[in-house]
Amino acid sequence: MTRAVTESSREKTAERLLRSSAGKFYDPEIDIDWDAPLVEGKLYLREERSSLYGTELWERLTPEQRIELGKHEIASIATNGIWFEVLLMRMLLKQVYDADPTTRFAQYALTEIADECRHSTMFARFSERVGCPHYGPVVWRKRLGKLLNVIAYGPAMYGSILVAEEILDRLQREQMNDPEIQPLVRMVNRIHVLEEARHVTFAREEVVRGMRRLRGPEKVYQQWVLAVVSHEITRSLVNPAVYASVGIRPRDGYVAAMNNPHWQETIRFYGERIMGFLGEAGLVGGPGMRWWRRSFLLGDR
Ligand SMILES: [Fe+2]
Ligand SMILES: [Fe+2]
């Protein structure tokens, strides 16, 4: 009986999200004017959100270099967004593989994959348009990412999806209505925020459903996987290679950023909403705590 109720609520949510997806979606190929000129002097990333903001290295940068660094940092975040989305698509495809395709659940999972395909193309075009190289994650982390499909399932899988989606969501919401930000960045952010709201609803419900079924050691395993993956998500956002764009040795920039209280606070701010949810769901704890602390997502907790 309980399982039947769970399945029917899952189907209802998927049905609603399918309808919403059909009513409102963007095609970045058409909806973004990729040929529009970039606006001189506008920011790509709010200055206080730069990983070096407030450090000695930051003080030495000229106003132009600060804009340039922000551009490379946002391109790094966008191309890491592609990495997250490709991993997420693989996990969702695994769900579809095992599911009955006539269910609304499987059909919504396919729709979400279609959304992510468009997003990843949009992020790639964005990075190319602003003249940045493909940053993405550092090589070893990219290799390690291949394991995710094997080790993550259930609530930790949906929890990982949520951490990546909600961190980007917070950053993008802050930028999408800020007149100081490049119009192209704002448009990319607006499209992503609008479509991700559905994904967040879908994943949050799956976490709650999955947690009800977890017992003993399996819960501990799920807590650990989610903490490790979340740590890698926060660490990957800014590829150290971005610092070379303003003449800073990548290693020096990376060390300064990781020890920068402003950057740590920025990560905590990005994760604030999702950490509250994951904590209530019972996914933050156990052997994962060491990783959570190092991720900067916990703040003073
Ligand atoms: Fe996305
Ligand atoms: Fe998404």
Q: What is the pLDDT of residue 1?
A: 41
DSSP E strands, the chain: none
Average pLDDT per block of 10 residues along the chain, 301 residues long = 69 94 89 96 98 98 98 98 96 94 97 96 98 96 91 92 96 96 97 94 94 89 96 97 98 98 97 95 93 89 47
What is the DSSP-derived secondary structure letter of residue 47? G
Q: Report the separation in Å between the CA atom of 190 and the middle of ligand 1, taken as the mean of its atom positions.
A: 11
Distances (CA, A) of 101 to 81, 86, 107: 28, 21, 6
Q: Report the separation in Å between the CA atom of 28 and the middle of ligand 1, taken as the mean of its atom positions.
A: 12
Q: Report the separation in Å between the CA atom of 85 and the middle of ligand 1, taken as the mean of its atom positions.
A: 6
Q: Report the separation in Å between the CA atom of 45 and the middle of ligand 1, taken as the mean of its atom positions.
A: 19
Q: Report the separation in Å between the CA atom of 68 and the middle of ligand 2, taken as the mean of its atom positions.
A: 28
- Inter-axis angle of helices 216-236 and 63-98, nearest 10: 150
Distances (CA, A) of 26 to 31, 93, 192: 7, 22, 9
- Entry pTM: 0.94
Q: How far apart are alpha carbons 247 and 69 in whole angstroms?
A: 10
Q: How far apart are alpha carbons 9 and 3 in whole angstroms?
A: 10
Q: How far apart are alpha carbons 47 and 262 in whole angstroms?
A: 11
Biggest alpha carbon–alpha carbon distance for the chain: 65
Q: What is the pLDDT of residue 57?
A: 98
